[in-house]
């Protein structure tokens, strides 16, 4: 929850894809051990925001600080080593490899000898993955594949987990499994920044929320404040 200094700060960020300018002065603060959600219309720049933090999309102006250190425009591998992991939009694990092999891929930067212990930790946290360790990842349900994606990122024990639309296209019962997993991950000390279309559900599990529109900040506050905001209720909560 909230402490004096945010763990991650995006300060007036402009970023995009060459001629395509997407983020236009976005500022976001993420507090240590919180769950912070981002939502907004299609094309608002939510995925671009996560990719910008992770060093995939270059920053034109503005700064990103993590733990007070300037991480603006560092490469993704360096950012990963600094304790920030990213689960991109769309399931993208290796469907023709087993669950165990996928987890080994998630730990590819860990020195040999420690990976088994990290995988045992993951199996303790996610018993369903342990049960299905020898199954092909492609044969898991959509929700289980999403949990595997998160588990692959957690192998490296990140301080911050960036997750993009983890429930996209999932059946409602699987949506709950994914949200429960995110709560558990957070309870164990990982700070979470999640982009999610399902504003109602994600506000229920979040401490803080940012709403983007057209590449700019539209609104931010505690999840409670945002869920009680009349404009948010009208546009996002169907109330």
Ligand X SMILES: Nc1ncnc2c1ncn2[C@@H]1O[C@H](COP(=O)(O)OP(=O)(O)OP(=O)(O)O)[C@@H](O)[C@H]1O
Candidates 17, 69, 76, 184; binder of ligand X (CB under 6 A) is: 17
Binding segment toward ligand X, per CB under 6 A, in 41-49, 63-71, 98-106, 107-115: 41-49
- Interacting partner of 48 out of ligand X, Mg ion, none (Cβ under 5 to 8 A depending on kind): ligand X
Q: Is 26 in the site for ligand X (CB under 6 A)?
A: no
The distance from CA 2 to its chain's CA centroid, rounded to whole angstroms, is 19
The CA-based dihedral angle spanning residues 227, 212, 27, 80, taken in that order and rounded to the nearest 10 degrees: 100
Q: How far is residue 212's CA from residue 117's CA, in Å, rounded to a whole number?
A: 40
Task: List the Cα angle 82/86/88 in 5-degree steps.
Answer: 160
- Cα-based distances in Å from 197 to 14, 39, 164, 166, 186: 23, 6, 10, 9, 20
Residue 20 binds ligand X (CB under 6 A): yes
Q: Which residues contact 61 (CB under 8 A, 6 or more apart)?
A: 12, 13, 14
User: Cα-flanking dihedrals φ and ψ of residue 211, to 5°?
Assistant: -110, 125
Instruction: Say whether residue 167 binds Mg ion (CB under 5 A).
Output: no
User: Applying CB under 5 A, which part among 18-26, 42-50, 145-153, 209-217 lies near Mg ion?
Assistant: 42-50
Which residue number, 51 or 132, has a Cβ lying nearer to Mg ion? 51
Q: How far is the CB of 38 from ligand X (least distance, A)?
A: 9
43 is a site residue for ligand X (CB under 6 A) = yes
Out of 15, 36, 47, 93, point to the residue binding Mg ion (CB under 5 A).
47
Decide which of Mg ion, ligand X, none touches 148; Cβ closer than 5 to 8 Å per partner kind.
none
CB contact at 8 A, 13 and 186: no
Q: Residue 33 or 46: which CB sits closer to Mg ion?
A: 46
Angle at 10 between CA 233 and CA 43, to 5 degrees: 50
- Counting contacts by CB under 5 A, is residue 15 touching Mg ion? no
Nearest approach in angstroms of CB 89 to Mg ion is: 5
Query: Could you list the residues that contact ligand X (CB under 6 A)?
Result: 17, 20, 22, 42-48
Query: Could you list the residues that contact Mg ion (CB under 5 A)?
Result: 46-47
């Amino acid at each position: 929850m909230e402490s004096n200094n945010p763990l991650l700060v995006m300060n007036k960020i402009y970023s995009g894809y060459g001629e395509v300018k997407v983020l236009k002065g976005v500022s976001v603060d993420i507090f240590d051990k919180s769950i912070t959600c981002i939502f907004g219309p299609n094309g608002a720049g939510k995925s671009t925001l996560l990719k910008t933090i992770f060093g995939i999309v270059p920053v034109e102006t503005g700064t990103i600080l993590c733990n007070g250190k300037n991480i603006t425009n560092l490469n993704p591998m360096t950012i990963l080593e600094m304790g920030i992991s990213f689960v991109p939009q769309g399931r993208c694990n290796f469907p023709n490899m087993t669950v165990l092999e996928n987890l080994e891929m998630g730990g590819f930067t860990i020195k040999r000898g420690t990976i088994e212990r990290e995988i045992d930790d993951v199996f303790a946290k996610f018993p369903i993955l342990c049960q299905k360790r020898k199954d092909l990842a492609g044969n898991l349900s959509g929700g289980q594949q999403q949990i595997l994606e998160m588990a692959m990122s957690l192998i490296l024990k990140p301080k911050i987990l960036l997750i993009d639309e983890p429930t996209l296209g999932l059946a409602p019962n699987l949506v709950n499994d994914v949200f429960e997993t995110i709560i558990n991950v957070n309870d164990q000390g990982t700070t979470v920044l999640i982009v999610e279309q399902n504003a109602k559900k994600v506000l229920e599990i979040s401490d803080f929320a940012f709403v983007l529109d057209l590449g700019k900040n539209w609104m931010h506050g505690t999840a409670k404040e945002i869920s009680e905001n009349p404009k948010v209720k009208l546009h996002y909560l169907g109330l």
